[in-house]
Amino acid sequence: MSQSLIRAVIPEGWPKPIGYANGIVTDGPLVHVGGQIGWRTDHTFPDTFLGQVGQALANVLAVVEAAGGGADTIVRLTWYVTDIEAYRTSLSELGPVYRAVMGRNFPAMALVQVVSLVEVEAMVEIEAVAAVPVAA
């Protein structure tokens, strides 16, 4: 994490969370990334849940990078999935997919199942907030 911009919050007596943060304090401009689905720039989708997760995360990161940040500046992710069992049954494979894009940055996160997403083929949509460095 960019320590000058971001600090994880852990209430006294709580165990350190694994794979996410309970809260994040930021000191820098915030970028609010609209929901990114797992499609490529040509609007085609990977066939698998994990493929779509990796692409959705890459799409989030592309927006953050365009704003001057990186994976380590992302402080919040909200995941919307159409099949919670696909998420639950792929947890062991999900870690490497996540880390390939996000590294070891584990922001505050929420994940919810939704009935459907706007794009029929979409299995996941991810929103983000990042604290980016002030432009020089």
pTM: 0.88
pLDDT tens readout for residues 20-44: 888 888 877 899 999 999 999 999 9
Q: Locate tokens 């959705």: which residue?
A: 56
pLDDT tens readout for residues 43-60: 999 999 999 999 999 999
Q: Are strands 23-26 and 30-37 parallel, antiparallel or unpaired?
A: unpaired
Q: Which two tokens stand for residue 134?
A: 């002030």
Give the CATH number of domain 6-131.
3.30.1330.40
Residues in CB range of 9: below 8 A, 6 or more apart: 21, 22, 23, 24, 25
3-class SS of residue 40: coil
For the chain, give every domain's residue range.
6-131
**Host H or E run for residue 131:** strand 124-131
